Amino acid sequence: MKLNNSNKIIILVFGILWVISSLIAYNQAFSDSREAFLEKGIALEESEQFLQQFAQVNSDTRSENTPTMPELIEKIVTIIQRLDAIYVDDVDYGKLMEDAINGMLKGLDPHTSYFSPDDFKNFTSSTKGEFGGLGIQIDKKGDYITVVSPIQGTPAYRMGIMAGDMIWKVDGEDITGISTDESIKKMRGEVGSEVVITVIRPGVKQPLDFKIERDIIKINSIPYSFKLDNNVGYIRMSQFNANTSKELSESLDALETEGIDGLIIDLRFNPGGLLSEAINTVNEFIGKGKRVVYTKGRIEYANEDYFTSKDIMRPDYPIVVLINEASASASEIFAGSMQDYDRGLVVGKTSFGKGSVQQLFPLRDGSGIKITTSHYYINSGRCIHKIINDKLLAGKSVTTEEKEDIDKFNHEHIYKTAQGRTVYGGGGVTPDIIIEADTLSRFELELRRKNFFFDYAVEYMTENSDNVDLDFSISDQIFNEFINYVVLKETEFKAKEAEDKKDNSISLASPIDLTNPRPEDLQEAEDYIKLTLTSEIIEKKFGSQEGYKIRIQMDNQLQEAKSLFDKYKTLEEMFEHSNIQKS
């Protein structure tokens, strides 16, 4: 049946009212629970009822110059009438509707967005903790999809994808300018299939290509928990999912049974997760009835205080919390709260600054919208959210002067912990002690990017597995064999690449020549190569945690955090040391 002009306009306007009514219903849910509100948010149907509600909700906030709802609807109808009457081609009203919604939400902030039915299904399934893909946390910065952090133990992490990598191409297709959701579709695929990711890496002149095999991504919240050689416990927390507080409690029970003199909680590259789990994990260390975080938004429903509720508190051994620029959201709440209650010394680099709260709203046709409703504030009054990130994620440029102004703003806004220590606000969590991270040389980076360590370890273990124990280390002979292996494989690869160029295959050439390593590169990288090979071989024989114990010997941030326990026996002594550092 062909619709006449009036029916087209009525359907489109009703569709727009349907979406907006879901937003307005939010404002009226002051006393409802979240579950009840979500049901109300998608149940409202009558446009007349909606108009009455809209007028009531907005009567106190609308300025004299703000158009009324009838005026806005009249404007929409007029535009659609003109398009329908004189536009050069037939108008796809479904697409027009989605474009209108996208434009309306896009102008608010980078985290408020619309999902088509397929996109909404993919997005909600990815939050369940298991999906097929590469294993990277991404966000859009300017025109580029940028890696926030690779997830430990996943294909992307093993291949050497790094935080800050800007994804330029997927299987040779330029994805510059596309949305985050579109890029996810292109990178996900059948388990076992391969995809080539081309990235632009800051500080590296030429683009880098990574051929990665897709896999099921299963994430353990706490992949590593063990005791260091100075009797300090170490817990690596990779995200905050539904099992985090349970895993943390079990890890702490085991470490405390062994006997520990202190604890390091490593939150680097932790993108966050569930707010409830951030609160429950803090609860382990500060006890019941303490406010951890509160939210502030435009409407009453968005303003809420969150307290610890479990009657539990661990012994008061000193704790160091390790963060970096990729620690975000719930991990920032945990680190900042441990700082606020003087229960842990925070070290590393200032965290990412993701402190906005979003809620998902499913719509009747299977589509959905994600809306920013409030910002997080931790107990000291510090807002976690870094406003400059919204500007970057929206594709806007940020000048050096703006960054300097923000740093100045952060250090001018002083807050106090429970014991009166000075901490800073303005976005992200500023550590008590700054610790810089080491970077790889270009030669070391190429060895890791081309996956030589992993491949050599597999071949080595095929013939030498029985000779490998936990005390295994790389001898000079094995080191030289590895370098010869690299030269041989790279020579074979270049020959194949030269052949592949005939059919325009994607180039995976190294930006430096691995067929003839320079002596100075080998000398500089010797320790890194030996430890990395040892780690890979130990991991193949004894599991990922034993291999990880070897790798952290090269982790200067962790080693400096560990050394604090050798210098200072109490948390108070660590606080005093950090005060001297700050001054």
Give the chain's end-to-end CA distance (angstroms, integer).
Answer: 76
Alpha-carbon distance of 218 to 525, in angstroms, equals: 33
Helix (H) or strand (E) holding 143: none
Residue 20: what residue type?
Answer: I
Phi/psi-derived region of residue 203, left when phi > 0, alpha when psi is between -120 and 50, beta in every other case: left
Q: How far apart are CA 455 and CA 464, in angstroms?
A: 14
Does residue 370 carry a catalytic annotation?
no
Question: Dihedral of the CA atoms 417, 419, 421, 425 (nearest 10)?
Answer: 10
CB proximity list for 297: less than 8 A, separation 6 or greater:
303, 357, 373, 374, 375
Q: Which of 329, 337, 535, 578 is catalytic?
A: 329
Q: Kindly give the interhelix angle for 5-27 and 47-58, rounded to the nearest 10 degrees.
A: 40
Please indicate whether residue 113 is annotated as part of the active site: no
- Which residue of the set 165, 215, 266, 340 is catalytic? 340
Parallel, antiparallel or unpaired: strands 262-266 and 319-323? parallel
Does 329 participate in catalysis according to the annotation?
yes
Indicate which residue of 354, 386, 540, 562 is catalytic: 354
At a CB cut-off of 8 Å and minimum separation 6, what does 169 contact?
175, 196, 197, 198, 207
Place of tokens 């968005």: 302
Question: Could you tell me where the beta strands, DSSP code E, fall in 327-428?
Answer: 345-348, 356-362, 368-378, 414-416, 422-424
Q: Burial, 162: exposed, middle or buried (Cβ in 10 Å; 0-12, 13-18, 19+)? A: buried
Distance in angstroms (rounded) separating the CA atoms of residues 236 and 540:
20
Sequence-distant (6+) residues with CB within 8 A of 87 are: none
Token couple for 338: 């441990």
Distances from the Cα of 136 to the Cαs of 146, 157, 522, in angstroms? Answer: 10, 8, 30
The CA-atom distances, in angstroms, between 339 and each of 259, 309, 422, 560 are: 24, 19, 10, 19
Quote the CA–CA distance of 336 and 217 in Å, as a whole number.
29
Tokens standing for 188?
């996900």
The residues assigned a catalytic role are 329, 340, 354
